[in-house]
Structure 1
Amino acid sequence: MILLVERNNQFIDTFWACVMGGIIVVPLAPGITDEHRSKLFRVARRLRQPYLCTDRRIFARLAAFAADHALSDELERLKRATVFLDDLDDISRPGNLHTPSGDDIAFVQFSSGSTSAPKGVALTHRNLLTNIAGIAHGADISEADLGLSWMPLTHDMGLIGFHLTLMLMNCSHHLMATSAFVRHPQLWLLEASKKRASLLCSPNFGYRHFLKTFNDSKAAALDLSSVRILFNGAEPISIEVCREFLTTLAPCGLKASAMFPVYGLAEASLAVTFPAPGAGCSTVTVNRGTLGVGKAVESVSAGDPRGVTFVLLGSPVRGCEMRIASDAHAGLPNNTVGHVQIRGENVTGGYYQDLPATQAVVGEDGWLDTGDLGFCSDGGLAITGRFKDIIFVSGQNYYPRDLEEVLEKQIGMDLGKIAVYGVRPHNATTDEVLAFILYRGELSDFIATVKNVKRHINERIGIVVNHVIPITHMPKTTSGKIQRYLLGAAYQNGQFADVLAKLHDLELDDNPTVFDARNEIEKNLKGICEVFIKSKPLGVTDNIFELGTSSLTLAQIYERIEAIYPGQLEITDFFDYPTISELARYLETRLKLSHA
């Protein structure tokens, strides 16, 4: 049963009803973009006639999407197997309690990067119980702990780490809506302070999101002396962000030893390595030129210009084995870069109904290739990067090929003439997203392509393309595969600096913008948007998706508008009215109808 709900209480009730009834749960995030809705249909095809549990509001959005994308027949088949939560009016009839075996599948986790060809990690009761025991032991969790999490329950850290583990350890825990954290990041630690939470969690971007709105005047309201562990995982960990967060909140009683950098993935039922509780953050700095697979890393000083610093992530949790392997799948010694592989009773037996994908990552000896590269030092595991080209943005991962396919379909670009890649700037907590386009015309004529690329990726996927770069040659292997990493390296080496500077000037000169608001509603909307959109002077006729408005920024803008005009707009209205002028006219119509 696909579980597609927005509210945590709905999720918890339905999740446990399925588990206790012997129904395999498939949690998916409803989201606000077309990509979320498209993913549902791809997952449904993979599952082969699943049930769906949702509400009529979410289903109406699916119906509108299906009508626009020739998916109405698929939706109709799915509707016949849909349970609408808003239609449930009698919960007095008892269900039939199912007693599972350890090898029964409890739920299937489709990762945030599962898009074009979704892969569902099948997790059995044995997998989960093994890893939960390892998590509890590795973090010294007891009934005395109290957890608080804003992580979505569709994410393995939110569901396994901060619900299943704490429930099985008989810990009180509080679940905060992710949207509440996005809109009001200060609420997270205010509630942690009030409830005397000892266990908290967030990926890097969440710590950074909190710091953006925090100031010394708010410190007096916080007492974080009860916090003993701050789990930090789900994306590459920035030591700079860790240190800034700890330093900023030290006056509130937060201990530096609380930061708990971890490594895990859905295939491991979440946790792979933990540091020792109370050890805090440890790092290692190595020469970036020694990070090839099979190479022994060379340690350098933290200030060495050749150096790159990694946060150390501890040792394997109880019940999980880990090794670093060569390209030939042979074990490698410490301080040698290789493929991170895992095995144990916590590790999935494979992807649901997908034998080829399973065989691609699980060897005959049982070792599963995580897709990550790293090395082990005396201080623990260091992850150096993904073997493939996954892009990390705001706690989510995206596959370049999926973004390329969106552009090929929406803009009509030919296959092999576009490459998308992510690079991590120094001290940043998220990747820059780059789109390289094969183009040999005049640079002034390229501006329309720049706007189209940014708008379509932003509208459909919900992330910002930082730069759209024209190239005259697309590097490929002899078999025709695009070598994206070469383009990323060229960008980082400054080879596109001149063309990007010229494009920036051309964008500013292109299409004179109407800056002046023409009425009170436009003035209010423009003032709100200007607080969050600062890439260029904002006009009322500018398309906000062409200016780099991420889904996070969109949620913040919507929250401010909702405070002034409550109940008049939905966040999805931005996709239909993407300029201030258009949105103002629509809002004006809504206000007139509500006052009539």
Structure 2
Amino acid sequence: MSELDYTPNDCPLPRRRADFDTFDEAIDYAARSAKGMNFHDARGQLERAYPYAQLREDALGHAARLIGMGVGRGDRVALIAETSAEFCAAFAACVYAGAWPVPLPLPTTFGGKDSYIEQLGVQLSSSDPVLLLYPAEIGDMAAAAAANQGCRGMDWDEFAALDAPEAELPALDPDDICYLQYSSGSTRFPTGVAVTHRALLHNLSGHSRSMNIGEGDRGVSWLPLYHDMGLVGCFLSMIGNQVSVDYIRTEHFARRPLAWLDLITRNPGNSMSYSPTFGYDICARRISSQSHVAERFDLSRWRLAGNGADMIRPDVMQCFVNAFAEAGFKASAFTPSYGLAEATLAVTVMPPGEGIQVELVEEERLSGSPRDLSRPARYRAIVNCGKPLPEMELEIRGENGAVKGDHQIGKVWCRGPSVMHSYFRNEEATRDCLVPAEDGGEAWLDTGDMGYMSKGYLYIVGRAKDMIIINGKNHWPQDIEWAVEQLPGFNHGDIAAFSVETESGEEAPAVLVHCRVSDPEERVRLRDQIADKVRSVTGMNCVVELVPPRTLPRTSSGKLSRAKAKKLYLSGEIAPLDLAA
């Protein structure tokens, strides 16, 4: 495959850093260049080059079809967000038609057909779309979910075969809703985040300015397009900032993660590619059994290795550097960030080239618990997540709402043009997190996350709702999970920690652990070893349950869902392994 097969990195069209009033203008402008998207197969081989000019042409035709079907301004159109030209064109078509695209997830390996139909049903019920579009491969499940909800459903080909009568496109306003994005549920119950054109374009512009996106830069992504990092950072930002991008599907990455790095190696430009911690972890583990790293990969042009969407693990990042340094990967390429769907995507970004920076903080100070002088001090490495995007304000607040100073831990609050309009049709949830400002300015977003500031940089400690409080003492589940991960044989994501009520009515930490051991005696020894490890961290006994591999649930972005794990465990849907001989 030659570089000419790809859409190019550079072109004569002057770059605009998402300085448009509405996103349809951004599509129109990007279509004036030869840049675009490139879709690759499971081995990273180019299947389809899709210039932005072709995206625009297809989207305008689809917009006429939508209007011809009676889809009006403000109507929701649900889209199963597979990584394909069909999804991208349908999303853009909704924007042109004034409808609100609602990207929804593909089926995952966790659960089954009924579970997926139920999941779609919850989001379809919330978003109340007039139409669901989907790939033919999941037609049975998607059609069943649409029928249950009472909305029309059809696959991409059926939709494309409809007549496209001439139609007048609506004039859009910056304060119109551009799309609904369903948060992964890691911070709250999945709720539709309504994002305006103004908020989207501000975030895309801030993304470009903070990361200094320029000529020669090119995106590479395997992230799902129904999650904010994939949708906004790796799809909409590429259009808004006129950047060519190469995609492999998320399911292909799951089977062959090193295809991601193969794609970066073949990238003819300076790569921008982002991942949660677990993506780097999988690649480092997969390559550890192989040699000839330098012969297979060239990662020297990977300029921005973004990291976010979950707690950033400095040990995992170092393992990735160790594994791929000889292939030219530079630790300074790491670009930590912090964000959430309720702020469109990014809130803070590390300036390019500064890499991973950490501070060691006593665990008692992180949890707000008094120091136990009978035990040696324990520390956790907290990663610097960077500086706020331009025009975004950040404050750390205590329980009484008072603003805290540097190195004082509290809730992370932010405000600025990137903050969402509301949760769709959920006034109570909107009021809970969007708090009017006393100065009469924009409302503050209570993110639900805990962190602290230091010299203008943000450090994230954890999610407030995940805190385990036992006997008046606070414990972060990450500390318990990371302690267990230090035992031999465990991978990142094998452990979920939360609190449960014991038979005596007292609260105790519970730990669910993926177990790959079949011998009953070995399982008992493993359980006792884990209990000892947790006791050394918390100073108390805990409930340890060994569960089959791939049992612990994850959010749509691949993050461990502790809340769902607890719910499934208490309901009996996660059944512990039998330890009896």
- TM-score scaled to structure 2, two decimals? 0.67
Question: Is the CA contact (8 Å cut-off) linking 1:434 and 1:467 kept in structure 2?
Answer: no
What do the CA deviations read for 1:319-378 (whole angstroms, capped 9, x no partner)?
Answer: 211111111222111111111001011111221111000000111111110000000112
* Superposition pairs of residues 469-480 of structure 1, within 5 angstroms: none
Cα shift at 1:454: 9.1
Aligned equivalents of 1:340, 1:116: Cα separation in 2:
15
Cα shift at 1:190: 0.6
What do the CA deviations read for 1:481-522 (whole angstroms, capped 9, x no partner)?
Answer: xxxxxxx9879536446x75xx87xxxxxxxxxxxxxxxxxx
**1:368 is matched with which residue: 445, 454, 462?**
445
**1:308 is matched with which residue: 363, 367, 380?**
380
Question: Is the CA contact (8 Å cut-off) linking 2:276 and 2:307 kept in structure 1?
Answer: yes
Overall identity of the aligned pairs, in %: 32
Question: Is the CA contact (8 Å cut-off) linking 1:272 and 1:316 kept in structure 2?
Answer: yes
What do the CA deviations read for 1:282-321 (whole angstroms, capped 9, x no partner)?
Answer: 111111111256x999xxxxxx842111010111011211
Question: What are the ranges of 5 or more consecutive residues in structure 1 without an aligned counterpart?
Answer: 67-73, 298-303, 392-420, 442-449, 456-465, 470-487, 505-544, 553-596
**2:274 is matched with which residue: 164, 184, 201?**
201
Amino acid at match of 2:481: R
Judging by fraction of residues, say which structure has more strand. 2
User: What is the aligned partner in structure 1 of residue 126 from structure 2?
Assistant: 46
Cα separation, partners in 2 of 1:96 and 1:551, compared to 1, 3 Å: farther
Cα separation, partners in 2 of 1:354 and 1:165, compared to 1, 3 Å: same
Cα shift at 1:174: 1.0
* Superposition pairs of residues 534-573 of structure 1, within 5 angstroms: 546-548=548-550
Cα separation, partners in 2 of 1:342 and 1:284, compared to 1, 3 Å: same
Cα shift at 1:119: 1.2
Cα separation, partners in 2 of 1:313 and 1:52, compared to 1, 3 Å: same
User: What is the aligned partner in structure 2 of residue 210 from structure 1?
Assistant: 283
Aligned equivalents of 1:435, 1:292: Cα separation in 2:
15
Aligned equivalents of 1:204, 1:467: Cα separation in 2:
30
Question: Is the CA contact (8 Å cut-off) linking 2:466 and 2:498 kept in structure 1?
Answer: no
Judging by fraction of residues, say which structure has more helix. 1
> Structure with the greater relative contact order (CA < 8 A, sep ≥ 6): 1 or 2?
2
1:138 aligns with 2:207: no
Amino acid at match of 1:46: S
User: What is the aligned partner in structure 2 of residue 10 from structure 1?
Assistant: 86
User: What is the aligned partner in structure 2 of residue 227 from structure 1?
Assistant: 302
**1:147 is matched with which residue: 199, 219, 223?**
219
Aligned equivalents of 2:130, 2:189: Cα separation in 1:
17
Cα shift at 1:47: 2.4
Cα separation, partners in 2 of 1:7 and 1:379, compared to 1, 3 Å: closer
Question: Is the CA contact (8 Å cut-off) linking 1:39 and 1:115 kept in structure 2?
Answer: no
Amino acid at match of 1:40: L
Question: Is the CA contact (8 Å cut-off) linking 2:494 and 2:552 kept in structure 1?
Answer: no
Question: Is the CA contact (8 Å cut-off) linking 2:219 and 2:243 kept in structure 1?
Answer: yes
Amino acid at match of 1:204: T
**2:496 is matched with which residue: 430, 433, 447?**
433
Cα shift at 1:275: 1.4
Amino acid at match of 2:378: R
Cα separation, partners in 2 of 1:95 and 1:54, compared to 1, 3 Å: farther
Question: Is the CA contact (8 Å cut-off) linking 1:52 and 1:78 kept in structure 2?
Answer: no
Amino acid at match of 1:31: P
**2:329 is matched with which residue: 245, 254, 278?**
254
Aligned equivalents of 1:99, 1:253: Cα separation in 2:
48
Aligned equivalents of 1:23, 1:228: Cα separation in 2:
36
Cα shift at 1:432: 1.6
Cα shift at 1:90: 4.8
Matched residue pairs, number? Answer: 430
Aligned equivalents of 2:99, 2:308: Cα separation in 1:
29
Question: What are the ranges of 5 or more consecutive residues in structure 2 without an aligned counterpart?
Answer: 1-76, 438-442, 469-476, 505-510, 516-523, 528-532, 555-581
Aligned equivalents of 1:467, 1:10: Cα separation in 2:
52
**1:424 is matched with which residue: 481, 489, 495?**
481
SS in 2 for 1:424: helix
Question: Is the CA contact (8 Å cut-off) linking 1:51 and 1:78 kept in structure 2?
Answer: no
Cα separation, partners in 2 of 1:203 and 1:94, compared to 1, 3 Å: farther
Question: Is the CA contact (8 Å cut-off) linking 2:281 and 2:317 kept in structure 1?
Answer: no
**2:538 is matched with which residue: 493, 505, 509?**
493
User: What is the aligned partner in structure 2 of residue 128 from structure 1?
Assistant: 200
Aligned equivalents of 1:287, 1:435: Cα separation in 2:
21
Aligned equivalents of 1:115, 1:223: Cα separation in 2:
37
**1:20 is matched with which residue: 96, 119, 124?**
96
User: What is the aligned partner in structure 1 of residue 421 from structure 2?
Assistant: 349
SS in 1 for 2:234: helix
Aligned equivalents of 2:154, 2:187: Cα separation in 1:
24
Amino acid at match of 2:538: N
Amino acid at match of 2:153: T
Q: CA RMSD in A?
A: 3.7
Question: Is the CA contact (8 Å cut-off) linking 2:96 and 2:169 kept in structure 1?
Answer: yes
What do the CA deviations read for 1:33-83 (whole angstroms, capped 9, x no partner)?
Answer: 34443222122222235421124542412566x6xxxxxxx735534x223
Cα separation, partners in 2 of 1:389 and 1:176, compared to 1, 3 Å: same
Cα shift at 1:172: 1.0
1:324 aligns with 2:396: yes
What do the CA deviations read for 1:137-187 (whole angstroms, capped 9, x no partner)?
Answer: 000002321110000111111111111112221111112101111111111
Aligned equivalents of 1:149, 1:15: Cα separation in 2:
18
Question: Is the CA contact (8 Å cut-off) linking 1:121 and 1:348 kept in structure 2?
Answer: yes
- TM-score scaled to structure 1, two decimals? 0.65
Amino acid at match of 1:195: N
Pick which of 139-148 and 46-55 moved more. Answer: 46-55
Cα separation, partners in 2 of 1:8 and 1:164, compared to 1, 3 Å: same
SS in 2 for 1:284: strand
Question: Is the CA contact (8 Å cut-off) linking 1:433 and 1:467 kept in structure 2?
Answer: no
**2:106 is matched with which residue: 21, 27, 30?**
30
